[in-house]
Amino acid sequence: MNLTLKVWRQASANIKGGFVTYPVANISEEMSFLEMFDVLNERLITEGNEPIAFDHDCREGICGMCSMHINGRAHGPQSGTTTCQLHMRHFKDGETITVEPWRAKAFPVIKDLVVNRSAFDKIQAAGGFISVNTGNAKDANSLPIPKDDADASFFAAACIGCGACVAACKNSSAMLFVSAKVSQFALLPQGQVERVDRALNMVKEMDALGFGNCTNTGSCEAECPKEISIENIARLNREYLLATLKK
């Protein structure tokens, strides 16, 4: 495959960036999108040019580091797929592909396609955990949890914190991420002790960090690589209302 890449280049957060066009040739359709970037970077280094900075770690769709906006979609054209699991067979020979970083006030650009997503860490630190002593591990059958609740908690916990929900939202809202982290504990007995503080503190931190408001357009669910449901946002709204009344 022969392709044309329009890639956002930005030396640092304080320097104005812009798109740079790169032709790439002889790309196998079996390559992942990141492997194609590896090929381009090897060429740039050989030519004595600065390689393109982008985030990656596991390259198995687990860590959520591979945050790229590809042709106007978070993680690219394949639904339910992270950038590292996106393969070149989903593009056409001769196609022009535009690649840029997440666009959100709370995710400032560090360099090129790399953004600072430490805002998610701060939200998680505000309440996305269980700190009370719940005792020793119990036999699974001695702590009955309705299957629907267990499944919903498991699906919420599948969130990898990649930030695609924020990048896809017209308001740069982090509600899908926060609701997933609140839901996974709200549905389990172990999460009940800190239930009120968790909802209040995580939402407060989210607002303080500059994320936008949720207007329920559903774009976050559509672009989430783990297909986290917006039902979690409804649950977070209920949790927040209940916590506000109790306080």
Superfamily name with CATH number, domain 3-111: Beta-grasp domain (3.10.20.30)
At 181 the pLDDT is 97
- Evaluate whether 174 touches 166 at the Cβ level (below 8 Å): yes
If you search the block for the tokens 């740079």, which residue do you land on?
A: 20
Model pLDDT, residue 140: 66
Q: What are 178-234's pLDDT values in tens digits?
A: 999 999 999 998 899 999 999 999 999 999 999 999 999 999 999 999 999 999 999
Where in the chain are the domains? Answer: 3-111, 118-246
Check if the beta carbon of residue 20 is closer than 8 Å to that of residue 5: no
Whole-number pLDDT of residue 136: 77
> Cα 169 to the chain's mean position, in Å?
12
Right CATH number for 118-246 from 1.10.1060.10, 3.40.50.20, 3.40.109.10, 3.40.50.1000? 1.10.1060.10
> What does R_g of the chain's alpha carbons equal in angstroms?
20
* pLDDT, position 143: 72
Torsion of CA 53, 37, 65, 180, to 10 degrees: 130
pLDDT tens by residue, 83-94:
999 999 999 999
Could you say which residues of the chain have pLDDT below 50? Answer: none
The pLDDT of residue 124: 97
Predicted model pTM: 0.94
